[in-house]
Structure 1
Amino acid sequence: MVASKILMASLTHYRPLNCSAAAASASGPSRLVQQAPDLIKWVRKEGGFVHPAMRISQDTFCGLGLTTIERIPKGSDLIALPPHLPLRFESCIGEEAADAEPVIVSLAEKVPEELWAMKLGLKLLQERAKIGSFWWPYISNLPETYSVPIFFQGEDIKNLQYAPLLYQVNKRCRFLLDFEHKVKETLKDVSWKDHPFEGLDVDASSLGWAMSAVSSRAFRLHGKTKYPDCSSSYVPMMLPLVDMCNHSFEPNARIVQEQEEKPQEMLLKVIAEREINENDPLLLNYGCLSNDLFLLDYGFIIPSNPHDCIELKYDGALLDAASMAAGVSSPNFSSPSPWQKDILSQLNLDGEAPVLKVTIGGHELVEGRLLAALRVLLASNEEAVKKHDLNTLKSSLVEAPCGIACEMAAFRTVIALCAIALEHFPTKVMEDESLLNSGVSAFSELAIRFRSQKKLLIVDVMKELSRRMKVQAFEERSAPGSVQPNARGRSGCNTRIAAPTFHQCIVNSVYLKYMADVDDKCSRDKFDIIPLIILLNLQGAGSSLDLCGTLCQMSDLVGDSMVWIVVADHDPGAQASESFTFTFTEQA
Structure 2
Amino acid sequence: MRLGLRLLQERTKSDSFWWPYIANLPETFTVPIFFPGEDIKNLQYAPLLHQINKRCRFLLEFEKEVKQKLGTVPSGDHPFCGQDVHSSSLGWAMSAASSRAFRLHGEIPMLLPLVDMCNHSFSPNARIVQEGDVESPDMSVKVVAETQIDQNAAVTLNYGCYPNDFYLLDYGFVVTSNPYDQVELSYDGNLLDAASMAAGVSNPNFSTPAKWQQDILSQLNLHGEGAVLKVSLGGPDVVDGHLLAALRVLLAADPDTVGKHDLETLMSLGTKAPLGPTVEASALRTVLALCAIALQHFHTKIMDDQAVLKGEPPLTTELAVQFRLQKKLMLVDIMQNLSRRIKSLSPEKSTA
Q: Structure 1 residue 196 and structure 2 residue 196: aligned?
A: no
Question: What is the CA deviation profile of residues 394-453 of structure 1, one whole-angstrom value per residue up to 9, with x for unaligned ones?
Answer: 111111111111110010000000001111111101111222233421111110111111
Cα offset for 1:376? 0.5
Cα offset for 1:198? 1.0
SS of residue matched to 1:329: coil
What pairs up with 1:121-270 in 2 under 5 angstroms? 121-222=4-105, 233-259=106-132, 265-270=138-143
Partner Cα distance (2:16, 2:290) in 1: 54
SS of residue matched to 1:344: helix
TM-score, with structure 2 as normaliser = 0.97
Amino acid at match of 2:96: A
Cα offset for 1:174? 1.1
Amino acid at match of 1:270: V
Partner Cα distance (1:356, 1:304) in 2: 27
Amino acid at match of 1:141: N
The number of aligned residues is 351
Question: What is the CA deviation profile of residues 426-485 of structure 1, one whole-angstrom value per residue up to 9, with x for unaligned ones?
Answer: 110111122223342111111011111111110000000011112233xxx7xxxxxxx2
Partner Cα distance (1:213, 1:220) in 2: 14
Partner Cα distance (1:357, 1:419) in 2: 18
SS of residue matched to 1:124: helix
Cα offset for 1:264? 5.6
Where does residue 451 of structure 1 map in the other structure? 324
Of residues 256, 268, 273 in structure 2, which corresponds to 1:395? Answer: 268
Where does residue 435 of structure 1 map in the other structure? 308
SS of residue matched to 1:460: helix
Amino acid at match of 2:338: L
Where does residue 377 of structure 1 map in the other structure? 250
Amino acid at match of 2:144: I
Partner Cα distance (2:293, 2:136) in 1: 57
Where does residue 325 of structure 1 map in the other structure? 198
Partner Cα distance (1:264, 1:130) in 2: 25
Amino acid at match of 2:67: K
Of residues 409, 425, 429 in structure 1, which corresponds to 2:282? Answer: 409
What pairs up with 1:534-553 in 2 under 5 angstroms? none
Unmatched 5+ stretches in structure 2? none
SS of residue matched to 1:234: coil
TM-score, with structure 1 as normaliser = 0.58
Partner Cα distance (1:428, 1:319) in 2: 24
Cα offset for 1:263? 5.0
Question: What is the CA deviation profile of residues 99-144 of structure 1, one whole-angstrom value per residue up to 9, with x for unaligned ones?
Answer: xxxxxxxxxxxxxxxxxxx221011101111231111111111111
Where does residue 296 of structure 2 map in the other structure? 423
Amino acid at match of 1:163: A
Where does residue 230 of structure 2 map in the other structure? 357
Partner Cα distance (1:337, 1:193) in 2: 70
**Bigger radius of gyration, 1 or 2?**
1
SS of residue matched to 1:448: helix
The structure with higher relative contact order (CA 8 Å, sep 6+) is 2
Unmatched 5+ stretches in structure 1? 1-117, 223-232, 478-484, 498-588
Partner Cα distance (1:384, 1:119) in 2: 54
Partner Cα distance (2:182, 2:70) in 1: 42
Partner Cα distance (2:122, 2:288) in 1: 28
CA separation of 1:263/1:428 partners in 2, compared to 1, >3 Å: closer, same or farther? closer
Q: Structure 1 residue 312 and structure 2 residue 185: aligned?
A: yes
What is the percent sequence identity of the aligned residues? Answer: 64
Amino acid at match of 2:48: L
Partner Cα distance (1:406, 1:237) in 2: 50
Partner Cα distance (2:219, 2:9) in 1: 48
Structure having the larger proportion of residues in strand: 1
SS of residue matched to 1:364: coil
Where does residue 63 of structure 1 map in the other structure? none
Amino acid at match of 2:73: V
What pairs up with 1:524-563 in 2 under 5 angstroms? none
CA separation of 1:461/1:370 partners in 2, compared to 1, >3 Å: closer, same or farther? same
Structure having the larger proportion of residues in helix: 2
Cα offset for 1:194? 2.1
Amino acid at match of 2:195: A
Partner Cα distance (1:369, 1:424) in 2: 22
What pairs up with 1:84-103 in 2 under 5 angstroms? none
SS of residue matched to 2:107: strand
SS of residue matched to 1:280: coil
CA RMSD of aligned residues (A): 1.4
Partner Cα distance (2:289, 2:146) in 1: 43
What pairs up with 1:565-580 in 2 under 5 angstroms? none
Partner Cα distance (2:148, 2:76) in 1: 52
Partner Cα distance (1:136, 1:397) in 2: 53
Amino acid at match of 1:431: D
Partner Cα distance (1:174, 1:303) in 2: 29
Amino acid at match of 1:381: D
Amino acid at match of 2:332: V
Question: What is the CA deviation profile of residues 294-332 of structure 1, one whole-angstrom value per residue up to 9, with x for unaligned ones?
Answer: 000000001000000100000000001101111111101
Amino acid at match of 1:452: L
Where does residue 273 of structure 1 map in the other structure? 146
Partner Cα distance (1:256, 1:192) in 2: 43
